[in-house]
Amino acid sequence: MNKINYQKELDNLISNLKEGQVPSLLLHSCCAPCSSYCIEYLSQFFNVTVFYYNPNIYPDEEYYHRVKEQQRFIKEFPTKHPVDFIEGDYDKNSFYQIAKGLEHEPEKGMRCHKCYDLRLRRTALVAKEKGFDFFTTTLTISPMKDSQVLNEIGLSIAKELGVNWLPSDFKKKEGYKRSTEISREYDMYRQDYCGCVYSYNERQLFKAQNMED
């Protein structure tokens, strides 16, 4: 199947905005470094509210550290339109429920698809409840995430709940590279694993094996 260029779709949507039109956007963020470029880029065209909803994060200290970094970045980073912040629930059980039976899936596999769905669905519900014009996620910036799958999930939730999905593939146009530059500039904490206990264990194992070599 042909891949869709979701970044091009976003570019088209932005170029069709009327003069002076600044829609509201609920931007799900996985972490401050990934959000950096997305905020820099999107806040030129949208009134962005960052939604930090990541019940997948393990351990608790890591979760609170990532939230703090997210809030610090929003506070320190200058933007054309103001950026707000909402923290979602840290309801870890929701994550363990969807991960049941998928604990040994590799990264990008079915567990991750369900993890995307969990976080995007909650974002869409909040966007609907609060009347945002669009919702989207920073997750498409990561080379480790499948943007086609993320956009398909976002679009299907949007259709189901009646909220507008903002398509994206933030890693295009050097978005990922720019996020590493901003992260360095703001001396941000950059974690070395995706977030859940399974990705944490995988990373620890990898480090241990490489130390042995």
Rounded distance between C-alpha atoms, residue 165 and residue 107, angstroms:
24
Rounded distance between C-alpha atoms, residue 32 and residue 38, angstroms:
10
Burial class (CB in 10 A: 0-12, 13-18, 19+), 66: buried
State the nearest-atom distance from the C-beta of 39 to ligand SF4, in Å.
Answer: 21
Residue 199 within binding range of ligand SF4, rule CB under 6 A: yes
Total number of residues binding ligand SF4 (CB under 6 A)?
10
State the nearest-atom distance from the C-beta of 58 to ligand SF4, in Å.
Answer: 8
Record the tokens describing residue 114, joined without a space.
């369900």
Residue 198 within binding range of ligand SF4, rule CB under 6 A: yes
Cα 40–chain centre separation:
14
Residues 80-139 that bind ligand SF4 (CB under 6 A): 107, 111-112, 115
Rounded distance between C-alpha atoms, residue 27 and residue 30, angstroms:
10
Binding mask 160-189 for ligand SF4 (x = CB under 6 A): ------------------------------
Interface stretch with ligand SF4, choices 9-17, 67-75, 176-184, 192-200 (CB under 6 A): 192-200
Interface stretch with ligand SF4, choices 3-11, 67-75, 160-168, 190-198 (CB under 6 A): 190-198
Neighbour order of strands in the sheet with 134-137: 84-87, 47-52, 24-28, 134-137
Q: Which residues bind ligand SF4 (CB under 6 A)?
A: 56, 107, 111-112, 115, 194-196, 198-199
